[in-house]
Amino acid sequence: MSTSNASTTEVSGRSILLDQVTKRYPGQAKAAVDGLTLEIPAGKIVMLVGPSGCGKTTTLKMINRLIEPTEGRIVLGDEDVTSISGDELRRRIGYVVQGAALFPHQTVAQNIATVPKLLGWSKERIAARVDELLELVSLDPNTYRHRFPRELSGGQQQRIGVARALAADPPVLIMDEPFGAVDPITRQRLQEELLRIQEELQKTIVIVTHDFDEAVKLGDWIVVFREGGRIVQYDTPERILADPADEFVENFIGSGAGLKQLTLTRVRDVELADAVTGAAGTPAAELLKRAREAGHNHAVVLDGQRRPLRWPSLRRLSRMDLLPAERDDEMPVVAPTASLQDALDTMLVSSAGAAIVTGRRGEFAGVITVEVIMDAITRARESAAEVAEDAPIGLNTEAIAVVSGDPS
Ligand SMILES: Nc1ncnc2c1ncn2[C@@H]1O[C@H](COP(=O)(O)OP(=O)(O)OP(=O)(O)O)[C@@H](O)[C@H]1O
């Protein structure tokens, strides 16, 4: 679940409406997407999931008309874009594909500049925009702007793919399996980054994924399709996990719905446990005494900016003279934006069975423990039972006929 903070940032995304859209490929008996009406709210992330061949990619590519619908309308904001020039439409919709598909003989800067160049921006404006976007996707402009795609890791290429899609500041971003080609750790990092970028930019983002956990993690809303682009459920991740529409969705979620709930809550949303802290360079005995008094097994050593340096057990502390100033790189640390699942992963490999949480500037914020997580799950389950009032529309044409009795 992406937790976009709409109160502090202006929504720059525009809503999308697929209005009774059908796609029939030549020579195919059945429609790939059949009478689909799908409303995608402005500034939200909507995930398209479902079994192979159910029409996810076809649906996605009809949004920017890389695939032309056989019937129906595409509406962007208030504008019917069904018949405008496809090229013009695609300049307003950033498109990211699996493996990034960068132009191999162009530098990073040239790749990112593709659409701004087409739009006739000045050289200076393009150069400034390239650097701004590299910063946004956490790549140092001086190091990367002149590199070629082959000189980048898979994760870096994917970041450039996102930067290129965002270059002309389009209101809408569509992504087809954007993180499908990278290893799990890089994928997790890219997902975190997308959420951070989205918090800042508030675009309307539609993402096709095979990975249900990814859908839960990134989506404000998830569409579960079956064959023919038929919507089985269009709901929040919480509701899909807590109340799947039918057996098909249940099977699709797979086992461990309870564990998946952990991906829905972020560390910053839970009440953390406290810890006893001491400054590097001060006597260890003093910290040991306070930790014992508090009944803790560990204590946190902080630097001058209150950033954690190490997290010794009381036994180790008792063997120290002054609190050391070197940072222990093995220390289990999680960011406030991490999901509880990520926090749990970190905790399980830590000898403390818990993890340190740091704030935005790396400062010590508290400790996350198993008890903290259990408490958060209980609360999340209680609130998931409520039906969202602002639910967008998602249905197929026959569904309208059944509801209204109108066969048209
Ligand atoms: N160019 C095409 N010509 C004919 N049929 C096509 C074409 N593209 C897709 N199809 C068919 O349309 C249906 C939907 O395909 P689509 O690629 O949208 O599914 P998908 O859900 O994205 O699948 P996957 O998860 O495997 O990528 C499938 O039955 C597919 O075989």
> What class, spelled out in words, does domain 16-254+387-404 have in CATH?
alpha beta
Q: Is 209 in the pocket of ligand 1 (CB under 6 A)?
A: no
Reading the block at residue 396, the tokens are: 């197929």
Strand partners, 226: 230
Whose C-alpha lies nearest to ligand 1, atom 29?
Answer: 53
Q: Is 28 in the pocket of ligand 1 (CB under 6 A)?
A: yes
What's the topology of domain 268-381? CBS-domain (3.10.580)
Q: The complex's ipTM?
A: 0.97
Reading the block at residue 39, the tokens are: 């409303």
Strand partners, 298: 313
Reading the block at residue 66, the tokens are: 């890389």
Domain coordinates of the chain in residue numbers? 16-254+387-404, 268-381
Q: For 186-196, what is each residue's pLDDT tens digit?
A: 888 888 888 88
What's the CA angle centered on 159, arms 156 and 161, to 5 degrees?
115
Q: Is 97 in the pocket of ligand 1 (CB under 6 A)?
A: no
Q: Rounded CA gap, 312 and 288, in Å?
A: 10
Q: For 358-382, what is each residue's pLDDT tens digit?
A: 998 899 999 999 999 988 877 777 7
Sheet holding 221-226, edge to edge: 93-97, 172-176, 204-208, 45-49, 221-226, 230-235
The whole-number pLDDT of residue 407 equals 44
Whose C-alpha lies nearest to ligand 1, atom 7?
Answer: 25
Pocket test for ligand 1, best of 18, 57, 59 (most atoms within 8 A of CB): 57
Does residue 406 have a pLDDT over 50?
Answer: no
Q: How far is the CA of 23 from the centre of ligand 1 (A)?
A: 10
Q: Is 230 in the pocket of ligand 1 (CB under 6 A)?
A: no
Does residue 15 have a pLDDT over 60?
Answer: yes
The whole-number pLDDT of residue 221 equals 96
Does residue 238 have a pLDDT over 90?
Answer: no
Q: For 45-76, what is each residue's pLDDT tens digit?
A: 999 999 999 999 999 999 999 999 999 999 99
Whose C-alpha lies nearest to ligand 1, atom 18?
Answer: 55
Q: Is 25 in the pocket of ligand 1 (CB under 6 A)?
A: yes
Residue that is written with structure tokens 């609190």 in the block: 323
Q: How far is the CA of 54 from the centre of ligand 1 (A)?
A: 7
Q: Collect all residues with Cβ–Cβ distance below 8 Å to 207 and sequence separation of at least 6.
A: 45, 46, 47, 48, 174, 175, 176, 178, 214, 215, 218, 219
Closest C-alpha to 161, from 140, 136, 125? 136
Q: Collect all residues with Cβ–Cβ distance below 8 Å to 108 and sequence separation of at least 6.
A: 102, 130, 134, 139, 144, 145, 146, 147, 148, 149, 152, 160
Q: Is 52 in the pocket of ligand 1 (CB under 6 A)?
A: yes
Q: For 104-142, what is each residue's pLDDT tens digit?
A: 999 999 999 999 998 899 999 999 999 999 988 888 999
